[in-house]
Structure 1
Amino acid sequence: MVSLFVALAVLASDVPTVAEASRAMDRAVRFFRTSVSAHGGYLWRYSADLKKREGEGKADPDCVWVQPPGTPAVGMAYLSAYELTKRGYLLDAAREVGECLLQGQLRSGGWAHEIRFEPSARSRYAYRVDPERPRANDRSQLDDDMTQSAIRFLLRLEKAQGRKDRRISEALDYALDALIEAQYPNGAWPQSFTGSNRASSRPVKAASFPETWSRMYTARPYAEHYTLNDNVMGAVIETLLDAWDFRRNARYRDAAVRGGEFLALAQLPEPQPGWAQQYDAEMHPAWARKFEPPAITGGESQQVMRTLIALALRTGERRFLAPVPRALAYYRRLLLPDGRLARFYEIGTDRPLYFTQRYELTYDDSDTPTHYSFKVASH
């Protein structure tokens, strides 16, 4: 019994007090703001001496990353700490992140994967706050939760400030309007956008299988395909529902609902009632990158089902649950011996598809590239 009390005392002494945790947070935030931050923004990783700085790739001292876990993610951490403690310096830190994102908002309404501040590099982008440059990059990215994460952070910052910062509110108005404009008539969003898709003449139809599909990479543009890859649609719908929660504007809910209606349309027909990573204008599974073929996906389909369930819960519309049971039953049949799912299953056969390191399509998983998940967890 004495030894038990001793052990408990040792364990208890290892638990920091509130004061100790608070001091540690103060030091960490001070270090991030004064030594790590660049122009109020952040990257993904830094060496101990801060000389090496990286997002998805190497970055110079005047470059910050939007793509998670970059600038918006750090801002969210500041806001979470502020909401728990109400310490003003944490809100100040979040405001710095907000200012950085304002400097990186594109004229098309969203954000690219990075924000540049060095003048020559910055001139390559069509930032709203800068003079207009007709040939500059103005493509807002929805891939990898880029634009969406920036909007969600700014929504939370707007709320934390009681909607008193007009510049934040105006940037949000602009971004959310652009996001709604980028939605296709069938409810889908592309991987990225430069303007409105609302007047698109593409047909509104349910997903179907092509009569034939190329097993060779087609190298065709895919940025404007209807995109589920990397949870594009799920992140957009989550963002719009958050905007509806925070701002009570029915336009945001309506756009999210149309997105859910697209997810129902995009479910492929029996006997393969799953989803593809991306669809062309005819609602056929389509090629994207050289290792992303037309196929049923075991990865993004799980995200689709979670999004449909979240939509049903947050809107009260149970119709969004209808596609889930038959998809679940289908994917249970596709489980690999180790309990995982292949990222891709062949149209018509359900055979798992992989790529060799030379990017040749194959049924063999022994020589796959290491930069991509060709097998995914099932949960």
Structure 2
Amino acid sequence: MSTTIADHGGYAWVSSVDGELSNGEGACNNDRVWVQPPGTPSVGDAYLRAYLLTGESVHFQAATDVAKALIEGQLASGGWNYFIEFDPELRAKIPYRVGVRSKVGKMAHTPEPGGWEIWRQRKFKNNTTVLDDNTTSAAVSFLLNLQAAMEVSNQPASSTLSGTIDVALESTRLAQFPIGAWCHNYDRMPVQQPSVSHYPIIDASYPEDWSRTWTKKYAGCYLLNDSITQDMIGMMLLAWKTTGDDRYRDCAIRGGEFLLRAQMPEPQPAWAQQYDRHMHPVWDRKFEPPAIAGHESQTVLETLMDLYEATQDARFLKPIEPAIAYLKSCLRPDGGMPRYTELKTNKPLYFNLKYEMTNDDSEMPDHYGFVGESRLDSIELRYRRLRDGTTEKAAKISANRIAEILAAQHADGGWREPGFVRDPEGRKVTPKEGVIQSATFVKNMGLLCDYLESETGSSTP
């Protein structure tokens, strides 16, 4: 697959089998690859794990090709945008750290008070490090995993790789707010953390009142939406694990302390999607109101347990039991989890096709998950095991399932399936031979590696 659909070592979300057409959330071409998962770093992690389990050089080469693509896509602000341009004319307009640069020095300065008050102005939008949707955190995590894998497999160290990682970690470390959260994006390399006098460290509280219509203000500087702060905590834990640098442990713990502060008071001890600097839930997009957020609350609970496992700090278990009990009370009669529950009234909130907020779920837009699945049973089971110090046996993957996956694998290493891919103008094209989905590749490679680990007793670092 790395020789058929990869472009400059990177990947999109969907590709035609010949690699001529591809797209992520937006259209790609042969000179654009997608960073946002399940794009380039996700595929890279799949190759890397396969290499560590098999020792086959083809997997290592594919993983290092992914790293080269990401290195060339790192911005002067220190992180990554959703995609990387390789077309020389387009690259000349973007301040990548490798290759043509544009006003890098000027863009490095962030005036007081720093943080979202400055970054939301998007003065240097071509230099935007995106934390949304696990974009920068996935890129950094893959590069950290690759660096660790090279050490354990006695591969020569790469100063280019380590330099890229160092810049990314310094950038994201300084982009963390004093309270411990991260925002959606920033458009210049931070040189110091945002001002604590402007972004005070306080607990979440209910606003006295809130607008029932979209405010268009984008005042949310602390983001749990799309797992932004949660993913950054995970990245910092990995950085601490792989480098041994306690600065990253401290960042992760501060992120966890934000999660503790962001839990809303009774009678709704769960979490909102976004908070302003006063720690009030606020609007983001026109369908993302200030409310208790069911999906994000579940990801917060999972992150708190990750933090407990990494640090053994019991503070991170304390909010879980009341949150689970409360969230169970929010479940719909069909067992689904409302994305939004109104502050204080505890009524489920939806949007109609005109994007008017309502309690009626009969005419919801289909582009957004206004009702999601409940993971509360599995979350509660994991919580009890952590609390009681018990363990769970890993589920065994059947040999029949593995045989099915291998039988469906094409000679190029990918899996073809019905579907469409977008051309460079964004139009849907449905190839008769099917398409290759990066998400399917990542999933199947993960299952194959899980099976290999269970059968051989080996494991990846």
- TM beyond 0.5: yes
| 1:294 counterpart SS class | coil
CA distance in 2, matches of 1:357, 1:48: 36
Task: Give 1:69's aligned residue.
Answer: 38
2:73 is the alignment partner of 1:104: yes
- Conserved 8 A contact 2:6-2:19: no
2:233 is the alignment partner of 1:218: no
CA distance in 2, matches of 1:136, 1:274: 33
Equivalent residue letter for 1:213? W
Equivalent residue letter for 2:159? R
CA distance in 2, matches of 1:136, 1:186: 25
CA distance in 2, matches of 1:138, 1:263: 29
| 2:102 counterpart SS class | coil
CA distance in 2, matches of 1:285, 1:125: 34
CA distance in 2, matches of 1:199, 1:364: 41
Task: Give 2:445's aligned residue.
Answer: none
Task: Give 2:319's aligned residue.
Answer: 323
Could you say if the C-alpha distance between residues 241 and 138 of structure 1 is closer, same or farther in structure 2, counting changes exceeding 3 Å? same
> Percent identity at matched positions?
46
Alpha-carbon distance, 1:89 to partner = 2.1
- Conserved 8 A contact 1:152-1:242: yes
Task: Give 1:298's aligned residue.
Answer: 294
Cα distance per residue 1:232-265 (max 9 Å; x no partner): 1111111111111111110010100000000000
2:216 is the alignment partner of 1:227: no
CA distance in 2, matches of 1:141, 1:63: 17
Deviates more, 1:84-93 or 1:268-277: 84-93
CA distance in 1, matches of 2:78, 2:288: 28
| 1:284 counterpart SS class | coil
Task: Give 1:24's aligned residue.
Answer: none
Alpha-carbon distance, 1:220 to partner = 1.5
Task: Give 2:357's aligned residue.
Answer: 361
Equivalent residue letter for 1:109? G
CA root-mean-square deviation: 1.3
- Name structure 2 gaps, 5 residues minimum: 104-123, 376-461
Task: Give 2:101's aligned residue.
Answer: 132
Alpha-carbon distance, 1:136 to partner = 6.0
- Conserved 8 A contact 2:218-2:285: no
Deviates more, 1:129-138 or 1:97-106: 129-138
- Conserved 8 A contact 1:124-1:136: no
Equivalent residue letter for 1:198? Q
2:83 is the alignment partner of 1:117: no
Alpha-carbon distance, 1:159 to partner = 1.4
Give the aligned length. 347
Could you say if the C-alpha distance between residues 306 and 249 of structure 1 is closer, same or farther in structure 2, counting changes exceeding 3 Å? same
2:185 is the alignment partner of 1:192: yes
CA distance in 2, matches of 1:156, 1:310: 18
Cα distance per residue 1:291-343 (max 9 Å; x no partner): 10010001100000110011011111111111111111111111110111100
Q: Which has the higher contact order (CA 8 A, sep 6+)?
A: 2
- Conserved 8 A contact 2:4-2:17: no
2:141 is the alignment partner of 1:152: yes
Among residues 233, 238, 244, which one is paired with 1:242 in the alignment? 238
Task: Give 2:16's aligned residue.
Answer: 47
Task: Give 1:206's aligned residue.
Answer: 203
- Conserved 8 A contact 1:279-1:285: yes
Cα distance per residue 1:99-121 (max 9 Å; x no partner): 00000001111100000011232
- Name structure 1 gaps, 5 residues minimum: 1-31
TM-score, structure 1 normalization: 0.89
Equivalent residue letter for 1:85? T
| 2:7 counterpart SS class | coil
- Conserved 8 A contact 1:344-1:354: yes
Cα distance per residue 1:51-109 (max 9 Å; x no partner): 43111122121100000000001111110110011112211111110000000001111
Alpha-carbon distance, 1:131 to partner = 3.6
Among residues 297, 306, 310, which one is paired with 1:310 in the alignment? 306
- Conserved 8 A contact 2:218-2:283: no
Alpha-carbon distance, 1:359 to partner = 0.7
